[in-house]
């Protein structure tokens, strides 16, 4: 059963917390910051809170207009069954430190961005099949990459405790955010495109301005003494989820900066969480060989997908319609989201565990990366 700390059904379905502004900070200065100033949150101004509220209202309205109708051209399960591997790219990251650990797609979906055990970030052109640029700066493996949805910007995180904001066109690092005291374990871009959520083994989540590199707030969950393993914003941007190393999934009310609901039931550290773009569902995984699906409108687990023995889930993602869920682990799997959550298809072409997976626009293709150092694409021939 879900443990709720307050009445959250409405908050999770509509996410309308009361705006409670922190004191307005002094105007941001353009000069580079030293490390200590980055660790001190400057607070959430009334202006920022209003921006988040307006974005939420706009996105909620758009989501209601879309309704439950599936987008035109979305592949059927039968069509997805016939998707096969169409290309494989092994030369993006170093062979001496093998393993691609994370993946995202740039706005035009013709380019991918990958983070590797070799500490590098690689931007790859899918159509031209060539590396666009390699971004270097992290001192440990890159475990999270998030591409901006409109601009040529990407965000990365690493156990080196840094979050980096990159300008892809100029191949430069705009900001290095030293906001955590432990490995950074997750990133999620806010729907405004101006802020990034980060989670860390230091038990805190942080909320930072990607344009100024300023930390706006940093919050610890006082009820647990375990590190955070992942984080993800709900598509409307006023609630988000975190996973912990002690198997708990928490839903947070961002403006109140408080936990709104707990989703128990896993065992082992939470390995991945993903919200569906339609805002209805949350998918979660841990080191327990299951994927759990939660209905955010009813605050209940409506399906638990049991996997094979020793199947470790490393990545979860929904397509934009919320109709399909992809799972990365010993293979790459696709499920149709329904009461049964039927397995649609499986690709077992990686020689080691897949670490992350993404859908192309309208599920026109699927991309996956792996510890075997390859980026693979699957689509209809």
Burial class (CB in 10 A: 0-12, 13-18, 19+), 203: buried
Cβ-Cβ contacts under 8 Å for 198 (sequence gap 6 or more): 157, 163, 177, 179, 180, 184, 186, 187, 205, 206, 207, 208, 231
Which residues, 6+ apart, have CB-to-CB distance to 317 below 8 Å?
274, 325, 326, 357, 358, 359
pLDDT in tens, 309-352: 889 999 999 999 999 999 999 999 999 998 889 999 999 999 99
Residue 104: enclosing H or E segment and its boundaries?
strand 100-105
The pLDDT assigned to 86 comes to 97
CA dist 205 and 239 (Å) reads 13
Centre a 10 Å sphere on the Cβ of residue 360 and count the other Cβ atoms it contains: 19
What mean pLDDT, rounded, does the chain reach?
A: 89
> CA-CA distance, 64 to 40, in Å (whole number)?
39
Reported as a pLDDT band with limits 50, 70 and 90, residue 123 is very high
> At 12, is the pLDDT very low, low, confident or very high (cuts 50, 70, 90)?
low
pTM of the model: 0.89
Other C-beta atoms closer than 10 Å to the C-beta of 330 total: 19
- Strand segments (E) across 245-365: 249-253, 258-263, 270-275, 281-286, 290-295, 300-306, 315-318, 324-328, 332-336, 343-347, 354-359
Residue 56 has pLDDT above 50, yes or no: yes
Residue 11: its pLDDT value, please?
45
How many Å apart are CA 270 and CA 284, to the nearest integer? 7
Q: 234: closest CA among 39, 67, 8, 60?
A: 60
pLDDT at residue 108, as a whole number: 78
Residue found under tokens 């605050």: 299
Question: pLDDT (tens digit, 9 = 90+) per residue, 223-264?
Answer: 778 999 999 999 999 999 999 999 999 999 998 999 899 999
- The pLDDT assigned to 65 comes to 75
* 69-109 pLDDT tens trace: 788 999 999 999 999 999 999 999 999 988 999 999 998 77
CB neighbour class for 164 (10 Å; exposed up to 12, middle 13-18, buried from 19):
buried
3-state secondary structure of 61: helix
Q: How confident is the model at residue 18 (pLDDT cuts 50, 70, 90)?
A: very low
Distance between CA atoms of residues 275 and 257, nearest Å = 19
How far apart are alpha carbons 138 and 133 in whole angstroms?
Answer: 15
Q: What is the mean pLDDT of residues 173-184?
A: 96
Lowest mean pLDDT among 14-18, 150-154, 195-199: 14-18
Average pLDDT score over residue span 172-178: 96
Question: According to the model, what pLDDT value does residue 38 have?
Answer: 65
In this model, does residue 32 exceed pLDDT 60? no
Query: What single DSSP character describes residue 97?
Result: S
Work out the average pLDDT over 294-306.
93
Q: What is the pLDDT of residue 223?
A: 76
pLDDT of residue 139: 97
Q: How many helices (H) and strands (E) does the chain have?
A: 4, 29
* pLDDT for the residue numbered 31: 37
How high is the pLDDT of residue 222?
Answer: 78
């Amino acid at each position: 059963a879900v443990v709720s700390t307050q009445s959250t059904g409405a908050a999770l379905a509509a996410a309308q917390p009361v705006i409670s502004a922190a004191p307005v900070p002094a105007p941001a200065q353009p000069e580079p910051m030293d490390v200590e100033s980055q660790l001190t949150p400057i607070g959430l101004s009334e202006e920022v809170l209003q921006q988040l509220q307006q974005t939420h209202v706009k996105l909620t309205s758009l989501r209601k207009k879309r309704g439950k109708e599936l987008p035109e051209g979305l592949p059927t399960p039968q069509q997805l069954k016939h998707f096969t591997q169409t290309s494989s790219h092994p030369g993006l990251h170093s062979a001496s430190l093998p393993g691609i650990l994370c993946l995202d797609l740039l706005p035009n979906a013709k380019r991918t961005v990958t983070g590797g055990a070799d500490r590098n970030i690689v931007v790859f052109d899918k159509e031209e099949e060539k590396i666009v640029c390699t971004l270097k700066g992290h001192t440990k493996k890159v475990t999270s990459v998030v591409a901006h949805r409109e601009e040529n910007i990407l965000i990365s995180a690493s156990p080196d405790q840094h979050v980096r904001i990159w300008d892809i066109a100029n191949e430069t690092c705009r900001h290095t955010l030293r906001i955590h005291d432990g490995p950074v374990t997750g990133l999620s871009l806010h729907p405004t495109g101006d802020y990034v959520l980060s989670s860390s083994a230091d038990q805190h989540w942080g909320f930072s301005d990607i344009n100024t590199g300023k930390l706006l707030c940093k919050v610890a969950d006082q009820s647990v003494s375990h590190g955070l393993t992942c984080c993800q914003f709900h598509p409307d941007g006023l609630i988000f989820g975190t996973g912990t190393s002690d198997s708990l999934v928490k839903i947070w009310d961002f403006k109140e900066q408080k936990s709104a609901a707990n989703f128990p039931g896993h065992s082992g550290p939470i390995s991945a969480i993903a919200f569906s773009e339609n805002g209805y569902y949350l998918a979660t995984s841990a080191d327990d060989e299951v994927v759990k699906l939660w209905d955010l409108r009813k605050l209940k687990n409506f399906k638990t997908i049991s996997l094979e023995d020793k199947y470790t889930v490393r990545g979860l993602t929904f397509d934009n319609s919320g109709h399909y869920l992809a799972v990365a682990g010993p293979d790459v799997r696709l499920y149709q989201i329904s009461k049964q959550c039927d397995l649609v298809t499986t690709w077992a072409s990686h020689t080691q565990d897949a670490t992350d997976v993404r859908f192309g626009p309208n599920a026109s293709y699927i991309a996956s990366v792996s510890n075997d150092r390859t980026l693979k694409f699957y689509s209809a021939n």
